[in-house]
Amino acid sequence: MRQIIAGALTLVALGAGGSTLMTASWQLHVFWGVLIGTGTGSMALVLAATVANRWFVARRGLVMGVLTAGSATGQLIFLPPVAALAEDVGWRPGSLVIAVAALAVAPIAWLVMRDHPHDRGVLPFGADPRTWVPPAEVTGGAMGRAIDGLRFAARHKAFWALALAFAICGATTNGLIGIHFIPSAHDHGMSQTTAAWLLALVGIFDIVGTIASGWLTDVFDPRWLLVAYYFFRGVGLLALPLLLWSLRLPLVPSPGGRARAPCATLTPCWSSGSAAKD
């Protein structure tokens, strides 16, 4: 696991730093599409779910919420200053900031992270020492295990429901709001820095909503929570064009922020519950 994290951060650093040397448009696809896409994808929710399942027996939902909130925290910390730097100086210094930050964290992840609790001589949080049995070490190639797992999951309806939920989650957050909100706000007369601050404000609701959602999954059925979150997401997305047209943008982040991250927290938790039932 630590190899994946350190390697992913290195890819992000190479992609962000290498993009400052671009001389052709196709290089953007290589640096940001391939390198940064692979790096960030390797540290996505699958990694958070792996950490929660390996290191925790109790309170996994809350742990997933806290880990997922890290993405919103980074958005809140980096987005406004990087956007201001890109607007005042240029986009290349902003890319260098991302590269330096990723490269600085990579060796820390390598030194601090461990793959399993027994690597540190401890039990997973919440495990009973009298009954806890460590899971068997996996063998074989990772690619083969992934394909076998996909074949097994594809035979269950819950998998396709989860896949659809994640598709909607990604399309409406990273695919829509994350990419197009700042340009759209700029088209309506708002500076890029101000729009970035508004998007960072989403991160505040993101942090609160993600952690709260993780806690709620330990108490309530995640399926009903998902119904509520997707309802608020739909309302927020329907209201967004109206708010942009009326230029009352400070109202925008609230509905989107409350529905954005809880879905990302709930889906892996629902997945664990569905797998356990099957």
- Tell me, what's the pLDDT at 141? 66
Residue 30 within a domain? yes
Residue 190 within a domain? yes
Same domain, 111 and 70: yes
Residue 68 within a domain? yes
Alpha-carbon gap, residue 214 to 160, rounded angstroms: 22
- 7: exposed, middle or buried (C-beta count within 10 Å: 0-12, 13-18, 19+)? middle
Same domain, 118 and 158: no
Q: What is the per-residue burial (b if ≥16 Cβ within 10 Å, else e) of 52-72?
A: bbbbbeebbbbbbbbbbbebb
- Tell me, what's the pLDDT at 140? 61
Same domain, 10 and 106: yes
End of a domain among 122, 140, 168? 122
The residue range of the domain holding 7 is: 1-122
For the chain, what is the largest distance between any 2 Cα atoms, rounded to a whole number of angstroms? 64
Residues of the chain where predicted confidence (pLDDT) is lower than 50: 249-261, 264-265, 267, 270-278
- Tell me, what's the pLDDT at 250? 47
End of a domain among 98, 122, 146? 122
- Tell me, what's the pLDDT at 258? 41
Same domain, 27 and 87: yes
Same domain, 118 and 206: no
- Tell me, what's the pLDDT at 99? 93
Residue 185 within a domain? yes
Residue 134 within a domain? no
Same domain, 27 and 111: yes
Same domain, 108 and 178: no
Residue 162 within a domain? yes
Torsion angles phi and psi, residue 182, rounded to 5:
-65, -50
- Number of folded domains that form the chain: 2
Alpha-carbon gap, residue 131 to 179, rounded angstroms: 48
Same domain, 111 and 164: no
Closest CA to 7 of 96, 115, 106: 106
- Tell me, what's the pLDDT at 198? 79
Beta bridge partners of 56: 125
Same domain, 169 and 77: no
Residue 275 within a domain? no
Tell me the per-residue pLDDT of 227-270, one tens digit each, with 9 for 90 and over. 888 888 888 888 877 777 665 544 444 444 444 445 544 545 54
Q: Are 249 and 201 in contact (CB under 8 A)?
A: no
- Tell me, what's the pLDDT at 162? 82
Same domain, 161 and 112: no
Residue 137 within a domain? no
Same domain, 12 and 109: yes
Same domain, 176 and 106: no
